[in-house]
Structure 1
Amino acid sequence: MSKRVLLVEDDASIALVITAALEAEGFTVDRCDSIAGRDRFLAAHAYHLLLTDVMLTDGDGIETIGRVREADPGLPIIILSAQNTLDTAVRASDTGAFEYFPKPFDLEELIRTVTQAIGKAEAIGLDVPQDVPQGLPLVGRSPAMQAVYRMITRVLRNDLTVLILGESGTGKELVAEAIHQLGNRRSGPFIAVNTAAIPGELIESELFGHEKGAFTGAVARSIGKFEQASGGTLFLDEIGDMPMQAQTRLLRALQSGKIRRVGGRDEITLDCRIVAATNRDLLPMIAAGTFREDLYYRLAVVPIELPPLRDRADDIDALSRHFLAKAATEGLPRRQLTQAGADILARQPWRGNVRELRNFIYRLALLARDEVIDSATIEPLLAQGEGGVSARPTESGDISQDMGAAVTNWLAVNAPAPGEVYDAALAAFERPLFRAILSQTGGNQLRAAQILGINRNTLRKRLADLGILPETAVPRD
């Protein structure tokens, strides 16, 4: 007997293509283009699956899915949408839909999913959460981001460990926050810890806590990040930079579900979801013996890979306008971006990813003279780094020649007093240098210090002396 599918789609060309593909696979297809039509068909016939668009001629298809669920709780539902945002993906997931397909979609994959959904109807019927937060700062409708949204919706109703992979500046912490705020543990705390920023000798104390007298300076009991995250989510950022000894203890904690404070005897049962992230390729590190293979597989139960901005250039326009609007809410002047300006931004490499773009947009909002930002405003800032030092190398690539010319020009313009030349010049050229290196590393101070060949504490002190505050100058992952 042929399986019967109800297709609700107000785009006649899309409906025709889907119908033809389904009928070619032996399905019987009924079609309509509205919520009212859907309800009439469902009242008159029994269906094996509902395939519905979101924005229909008479309203939002997702908002009325509840009526369908009340009438037939076991009916598999697949949702299609051109409103390709994380909010739409989450709303689709909240209905208990078997799958969500952003438009444009792969027709063969859609047909395979229809077959799977009908064969696994018992796999649906998830509880619908209440008070889902809106306005999460994940922006983009590119196919690469649609894949991320779909992965996020798959982990919201469980506590599986998630490993977020991606270059610095791609938004890993924002994804972790989205998983927390939209998931089962959203009423609990979200505790983020940058494992690369904690000295190796202190990382166990930071994660697991310590008892009074456990070591010199432990004058009182300290509750670690695992306990602080009880009932919520613990986000372990830069997990690839965690020392090997701490990796071993972390693995033991994840395997047993229990921890023991440093210097303590009692075991404490864990009650938090673990989300980890790294900008490093862990597989070569495993081969080199610098990252534990068993810890990798314990963390990567569900891997989510964030695309670099160069692989989602279609999102740069939306991201730029989003950051301009956000900058205005934070006290910077309100600006508007012309399409010509957006096109220039979309052509840039943005090696620092979304973080670099965000910093540049905030700088535009601050420095632009007019409310409307066009190519005439953007191009000079792209061509020049802070302090008038060119951000682009000469054709010769001779950095000493470039810097020599820049120093000569700087001295002529600024004319510092005798005895102040060295300190003033050093500060003037360290500032753009450090900003450039931080941009290149996506704000990772450890990597920046390695590139510069200086101690990380030295770099941190110079950043403070120069008034460069990474937590404000460089957005988080």
Structure 2
Amino acid sequence: MSDENGARTILIADDDRAIRTVLSQALARSGYQVRATSSAATLWRWVEDGEGDLVLTDVVMPDENGLDLVPRIRRVRPELRVIVMSAQSTFITAVKAAQRGAFEYLPKPFDLKELLAVVARALVPQQAVAAPPGEEETGERLPLVGRSPAMQEIYRTVARLTTTDLTVMITGESGTGKELVARALHDYGRRRPGPFVAINMAAIPRELIESELFGHERGAFTGALARGVGRFEQAAGGTLFLDEIGDMPPEAQTRLLRVLQEGEFTTVGGRTPVKANVRIVAATHRDLRQAIRQGLFREDLFYRLNVVPIRLPPLRERIEDIPLLARHFLERAKAAGLPAKQLSVDAMERLKEHRWPGNARELENLMRRLAALYPQETIDADAVAAELFEAEPAAEPRGESPETLEQAVERHLQSFVSAQRDGLPVRDLYGRVLAEVERPLLRLALAATRGNQIKAASMLGLNRNTLRKKIRELDLPVVRGVS
């Protein structure tokens, strides 16, 4: 509904007067008409009367929960979009907002520029859509914890994905919670009535992975005395979580690619195709693009899996979440039967100073240790420092030489040797290793000479034409105008 001058009208419901004032002024400056109230009942009356082109509502209001309004608004006015705002910036809030049909969820405090951008997107004309059927209440347990901007973005992404079956690729360091995200996608998605089946590629012997994934027929190989059901069949109707997908051997990669392309698979030793009725969520701590360059991972499979990428930040990139996580883990330790504990202010500060190479998993283990080993109810900074020191890996003995380039290369090549030993063909190893060394060497030389190929060739001891040829072969970036 526009006014006589064509301005769109925004309806605001928030019990915080300061929020209403700031939003009203910002929207008015952007050319919108604004009506603001502290009451859910008033907002509902405006909606029923046909007022407004967009709704911005808080969650917690004196007379009604703003989330409960969303499905009611969509039933009476399916075209009216709703943006939900909340200081209760948890994963559950984001999921509830998405499941009930909100256009967007914005955690407080929010950036006004971001809010105005969301408002502009929400006002783009849409075709009328049917209101969603009523959904069950989502439980209040927290599968994901954190209020940092990075985690809020993950909450919103996961919340949007719960209404789809899109394939998801989760990346992040070990201990960042990749399986927690995969489980959240399942538990709060439309496949939640089905099973959640996880398989860790790094934990399965290479020669058994295909049988584990796709099953096998009796007599398919030595020891196959009966038909074996694979993880794809076990996960039918639900979600299959492929953890550490970067460790999948080439033969299994080829079969998985076919499943993603055709939507069906055959068991090992079988001939009859079986329909693959699963949602695929994959995860890895490896750099798959580097693995592709090394010939260890199929590029076409990567793009099939990487439909929606989710990167989980390491704990050192979201230090502000540490106090919340620490308290959460202490509560979990208490629920598991360990004594109730709390952390002093100094102890919290000491936690923030640590680098957390093991990420959230390392923090959880530390909280359990502190709860189990220390008698005092309030854990101080000295106890935290002592336990962090004990957990640090032992330093190298003095005088021990650092690893040489030759030793590092030899250690890296062991993976190729192991693959050959396991019966997996390794081809053109000499050329692949040379390419791995040449690429960073030439890239660094060009960077050091600011793209001057004459100087870089001299530095490397190469002919200029040879350098140019290698730049083309390795597809290295070239600084234009510098030769």
| Equivalent position of 2:397 in the other structure | 400
The corresponding residue for 1:76 is: 81
Match of 1:244 in 2: 250
Q: What is the match of residue 191 of structure 2?
A: 185
Per the alignment, residue 236 of structure 2 pairs with: 230
Deviation at 1:133, TM superposition (A): 3.9
In structure 1, the residue corresponding to 2:318 is in which secondary structure?
helix
Letter in 2 for 1:400: P
Contact 1:8-1:34 within 8 A present in 2 as well: yes
Letter paired with 2:308: V
Q: Which runs of 5+ in 2 are unaligned?
A: 1-5, 401-410, 419-483
1:331 alignment partner, SS class: coil
The match for 2:58 is 53
Partner of 2:374: 368
- 1:269-418 matches, within 5 Å, as 269-385=275-391, 391=393, 393=395, 399-401=396-398
1:198 aligns with 2:198: no
Asked whether the equivalents of residues 84 and 141 of structure 1 are also in contact (C-alpha less than 8 Å), the reply is yes
User: How big is the shift at 1:131?
Assistant: 4.5
Name the aligned partner's letter for residue 170 of structure 1.
Answer: T
8 Å contact kept, 2:100–2:135: no
Query: In the TM superposition, what whole-angstrom CA distance separates every residue of 1:231-268 from its partner, at most 9, and x where no partner exists?
Result: 11000000011111211111011110001000001100
Mapped to 2, the partners of 1:130 and 1:123 lie a distance apart of 24
Aligned to 2:224: 218
Q: Shift of the alpha carbon at 1:19?
A: 2.0
CA distance in 2, matches of 1:251, 1:22: 49
Partners of 1:302 and 1:43 lie apart in 2 by 38
Deviates more, 1:239-248 or 1:51-60: 51-60
Q: State the Cα distance separating 1:341 from its structure 2 match.
A: 1.6
Kindly indicate whether residue 98 of structure 2 is the aligned counterpart of residue 101 of structure 1.
no
Residues 15-54 of structure 1 aligned to structure 2 (within 5 Å): 15-54=20-59
In 2, Cα distance between the equivalents of 1:145 and 1:128? 28
Report whether the alignment pairs 1:110 with 2:107: no
Q: Are the equivalent residues in 1 in contact too, given 2:79–2:128 (CA < 8 A)?
A: no
* TM-score (normalizing by structure 1): 0.79
SS in 2 for 1:384: helix
Q: 1:122 and 1:265 mapped to 2: Cα distance?
A: 46
Does residue 268 of the first structure (1) align with residue 265 of the second (2)?
no
1:158 Cα shift? 1.2
Distance in 2, Cα, partners of 1:45 & 1:209: 57
Contact 1:196-1:238 within 8 A present in 2 as well: yes
Please say if residues 202 and 248 of structure 2, whose CA atoms lie closer than 8 Å, have aligned partners that are also in contact. yes
Q: Distance in 2 between matches of 1:347 and 1:126?
A: 47
Pairwise CA distance, 1:347: 1.9
Q: Which amino acid aligns with 2:151?
A: M
Determine the C-alpha separation between the residues in 2 that align with 1:203 and 1:197: 10
Calculate percent identity across the aligned residue pairs. Answer: 50
Q: Which segment is superposed worse, 260-269 or 290-299?
A: 290-299
- Relative to 1, partners in 2 of residues 1:131 and 1:46: Cα closer, same or farther, differing over 3 Å? closer
Rg larger for:
2
Equivalents in 2 of 1:253, 1:71: separation in Å? 42
- Which structure is higher in RCO with an 8 Å CA cutoff and minimum separation 6? 1
2:80 and 2:89 mapped to 1: Cα distance? 24
**Take 2:73 and 2:206, find their aligned partners in 1: how far apart are those partners?**
55
Larger mean Cα displacement after TM superposition, 38-47 or 72-81? 38-47
- Residue 433 of structure 1 corresponds to which residue in structure 2? none
Instruction: Give the aligned partner of residue 142 of structure 1.
Output: 148
- Compared with structure 1, are the counterparts of its residues 127 and 340 closer, same or farther at alpha carbon in structure 2 (3 Å cutoff)? farther
Instruction: State the shift of 1:127 in Å.
Output: 4.3
Mapped to 2, the partners of 1:346 and 1:186 lie a distance apart of: 36
CA distance in 2, matches of 1:70, 1:154: 20
Q: Deviations over 1:381-427 (max 9, x none)?
A: 12234xxxx7564xxxxx22599xxxxxxxxxxxxxxxxxxxxxxxx
AA in 1 matched with 2:20 = A
| Deviations 1:115-139, CA, capped at 9 Å, x for gaps | 2212144376444432434313311
Cα distance, 1:248–1:133 mapped onto 2, change above 3 Å = farther
State the AA in 1 paired with 2:236: S
One-letter identity of the residue aligned with 2:29: A
Partner amino acid for 2:52? Answer: Y
Residue type of the partner of 2:30?
A: E
Distance in 2, matches of 1:258 and 1:344, equals: 52
Hey, what does 1:6 align to over in structure 2? Answer: 11
8 Å contact from structure 1 (residues 225, 234) kept in 2:
yes
User: Which residue among 147, 151, 163 is the counterpart of 2:169?
Assistant: 163
Paired with 2:174 and 2:112, the residues of 1 have a C-alpha distance of 34
- Residue matched to 1:415: none
Deviation (angstroms), 1:297 = 0.8
> Residues 83-110 of structure 1, C-alpha deviation per residue, up to 9 Å, x if partnerless?
1100110111122011111122232222
**CA distance, structure 2, for counterparts of residue 112 and residue 292 of structure 1:** 38
For residues 199 and 297 of structure 1, do their structure 2 counterparts lie closer, same or farther at Cα, with a shift above 3 Å needed? Answer: same
**Are the aligned partners of 2:11 and 2:34 in contact in 1 as well (CA < 8 Å)?**
yes
More off after superposition, 319-328 vs 114-123: 114-123
C-alpha deviations, 1:52-82, integer Å up to 9, x for none?
Answer: 1112243421123343333323210011111
After superposition, the C-alpha distances for 1:202-221 in whole angstroms (9 at most, x for unaligned) are 11000000000000011110
Instruction: Name the CA distance, whole Å, in 2 between partners of 1:282 and 1:306.
Output: 15
Q: In structure 2, what is the Cα distance between the partners aligned to 1:259 and 1:288?
A: 28
Tell whether 2:178 aligns with 1:175: no
Query: SS at the partner of 1:50?
Result: strand
Which has the larger displacement, 340-349 or 245-254? 340-349
Unaligned runs of 5+ in 1: 394-398, 404-449, 457-477
Question: 2-side partners of 1:333 and 1:89: how far apart?
Answer: 32
| Aligned length, in residue pairs | 400
Q: Identify the residue that residue 416 of structure 1 maps to in structure 2.
A: none
| Residue type at the aligned position of 1:279 | H
**CA pair 122-249 structure 1, distance change in 2 beyond 3 A:** same
Does the Cα contact within 8 Å between 1:96 and 1:128 map onto a contact in 2? no
RMSD: 2.3
Match of 1:7, SS? strand
TM-score (norm: length of structure 2): 0.78
* Residues 112 and 127 (structure 1), Cα distance of their counterparts in 2 relative to 1, 3 Å cut: farther
